[in-house]
């Protein structure tokens, strides 16, 4: 029987292949022990996990290998081990301990600052509406 959900696939993997915890990470340059099974192949299903987050999984159990937290996060977030989903070179920008791309984080921070700046400017413009500058007396 083939599992149909994200959690079902991982449960079936543990039943068939045992736990991946403590095995060497599948990344060729990583010495960190694995925290579980990670999808190395292409996903065959996209849906939601029990926490409500978007999840990708495969029903081909051979697509899973032991992975550490960082490399599992890189693969789960999209992209591959060399490029993030937005195309940043992971080696140039680096990754967070959870595997997130620091280049994406920098872009997100820049976009957030621009949004805050725009909202402050808009708030200042709205505060001035209703005041007639031409009738105000200027000091001589």
Q: CA 8, CA 25: separation in Å to the nearest integer? A: 22
CA proximity to 58, closest of 4, 1, 19, 11: 4
How would you write the pLDDT of the chain (140 residues) with one tens digit per residue?
467 888 999 999 999 999 999 999 998 888 899 999 998 888 888 888 888 877 888 888 899 999 998 888 777 766 677 787 778 887 788 878 777 788 888 888 999 999 888 887 776 666 555 555 555 555 55
Whether residue 103 contacts residue 93, with contact meaning beta carbons closer than 8 Å, is answered with yes
Spell out the residues 6+ positions from residue 18 whose beta carbon is closer than 8 angstroms to its own.
none
Whether residue 84 contacts residue 75, with contact meaning beta carbons closer than 8 Å, is answered with no
Q: CA 37, CA 61: separation in Å to the nearest integer? A: 10
């Amino acid at each position: 029987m083939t599992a149909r959900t994200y959690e079902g696939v991982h449960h079936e993997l543990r039943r068939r292949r045992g736990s991946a915890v403590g095995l060497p990470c599948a990344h060729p340059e990583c010495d960190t022990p694995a925290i579980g099974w990670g999808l190395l192949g292409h996903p065959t299903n996209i849906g939601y996990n029990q926490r409500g987050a978007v999840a990708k999984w495969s029903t081909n159990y051979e697509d899973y290998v032991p992975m550490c937290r960082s490399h599992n996060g890189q693969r789960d977030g999209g992209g591959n081990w060399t490029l993030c989903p937005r195309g940043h070179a992971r080696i140039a920008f680096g990754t967070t301990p959870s595997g997130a791309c620091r280049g994406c984080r920098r872009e997100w921070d820049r976009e957030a600052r621009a949004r805050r700046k725009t909202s402050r400017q808009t708030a200042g413009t709205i505060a001035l509406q209703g005041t007639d500058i031409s009738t105000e007396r200027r000091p001589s």
